[in-house]
Structure 1
Amino acid sequence: MTEPSLKHPSLNIVIACGGTGGHLFPGIAVAQELKKRGHRVTLLISQKKVDAQASKNYGDLDFRTIEAIAMPKIPSLSLLGFGVRLYKAIRFSRHLLDEVEADVVIGMGGFTSFPPVYAAHRKGIRTYVHDSNALPGKANRMTAKCCTNVLLGIEEARHYFNPAKCIVTGTPVRQEMVARKDKNEARAELNLPQDRRVALVMGGSQGARNLNSLVIEAARQCADLCDFLIITGSADFARVSQLTADMPHVHVIEFCSAMAAAYAAADVVISRSGASSLTELAHMGKAALLVPYPFAADDHQAHNARVFAAHGAARMMRENTLTPDDIAAFLNEVLKDSSLLASMNECALRLDMPDAVSRIANVIEHTDHAASHD
Structure 2
Amino acid sequence: MSQTEPLTVVIACGGTGGHLFPGIAVAQELKRKGHRPILLISMKSVDAQASNKYEDLEFRPVEAIAMPRLASLKTFGFVWKLVRTWRSCRRILREVKADVVLGMGGFTSLPPVRAGYGLGLRTYVHDSNALPGKANRLTARWCDAVLLGVQEASHYFPKSECMVTGTPVRAELARSVNVVFAREAFGLDTIRPVVLSMGGSQGAKQLNTHVLEAARRDASVQYLLLAGTADYERVQKMAADLPHVKVLPFCSDMASAYAAADGVICRSGASSLTELAALGKAALLVPYPFAADDHQMHNARVYAAHGAARVNGQETLSPEVILSFVHEIVLNREAREEMESAARALSSDDAAQKIAHVLEHSTLS
TM band (smaller chain):
over 0.9
1:57 equivalent to 2:56? Answer: no
CA distance in 2, matches of 1:266, 1:352: 18
CA distance in 2, matches of 1:216, 1:54: 26
Q: Secondary structure at the match of 2:246?
A: strand
CA distance in 1, matches of 2:111, 2:122: 14
Deviations 1:51-72 (A, max 9, x none): 2232233233222221113222
Cross-structure match for 1:3: none
User: Which of 12, 16, 25 pairs up with 2:12?
Assistant: 16
1:331 equivalent to 2:326? Answer: yes
CA distance in 2, matches of 1:160, 1:56: 35
Cross-structure match for 2:172: 176
CA distance in 2, matches of 1:34, 1:265: 30
Letter in 1 for 2:235: V
User: Which of 166, 186, 192 pairs up with 1:190?
Assistant: 186
Q: CA RMSD in A?
A: 1.7
Paired-residue identity, %: 59
Q: Secondary structure at the match of 2:314?
A: coil
User: Which of 249, 255, 259 pairs up with 2:254?
Assistant: 259
Deviations 1:1-28 (A, max 9, x none): xxxxx84222221111121221112112
1:34 equivalent to 2:30? Answer: yes
Cross-structure match for 1:228: 223
Cross-structure match for 1:217: 213
Report how far residue 316 of structure 1 moved. Answer: 0.3
Return 61-70 or 148-157, whichever deviates more: 61-70
CA 251–61 in structure 1, closer or farther in 2 if over 3 Å, else same: closer
Cross-structure match for 1:340: 335
Cross-structure match for 1:83: 79
1:106 equivalent to 2:102? Answer: yes
CA distance in 1, matches of 2:39, 2:68: 25
Is this contact kept in 2: 1:150–1:166, CA < 8 A? yes
User: Which of 242, 249, 255 pairs up with 1:247?
Assistant: 242
TM-score, length-scaled by structure 2: 0.95
Letter in 1 for 2:250: F
CA distance in 1, matches of 2:326, 2:19: 31
CA distance in 2, matches of 1:117, 1:97: 10
Deviations 1:50-109 (A, max 9, x none): 222322332332222211132221212222222222112222222222222222110011
Is this contact kept in 1: 2:357–2:363, CA < 8 A? no
CA distance in 1, matches of 2:110, 2:146: 13
Letter in 2 for 1:189: A
Aligned length: 364
Q: Secondary structure at the match of 1:199?
A: strand
User: Which of 289, 297, 307 pairs up with 1:312?
Assistant: 307
Report how far residue 220 of structure 1 moved. Answer: 2.3
Is this contact kept in 2: 1:180–1:284, CA < 8 A? no
Identify unmatched segments of 5+ residues in structure 1.
1-5
Report how far residue 368 of structure 1 moved. Answer: 5.5
TM-score, length-scaled by structure 1: 0.93
Letter in 2 for 1:335: V
Cross-structure match for 2:265: 270
Is this contact kept in 1: 2:203–2:229, CA < 8 A? no
Cross-structure match for 2:316: 321
Report how far residue 178 of structure 1 moved. Answer: 1.5
Cross-structure match for 1:151: 147
Report how far residue 164 of structure 1 moved. Answer: 5.8
Report how far residue 168 of structure 1 moved. Answer: 1.1
1:141 equivalent to 2:175? Answer: no
Q: Secondary structure at the match of 1:162?
A: coil
CA distance in 1, matches of 2:196, 2:363: 44
Identify unmatched segments of 5+ residues in structure 2.
none
Deviating beyond 6 angstroms after TM superposition, the runs of 4 or more aligned structure 1 residues are none
User: Which of 274, 298, 301 pairs up with 1:303?
Assistant: 298
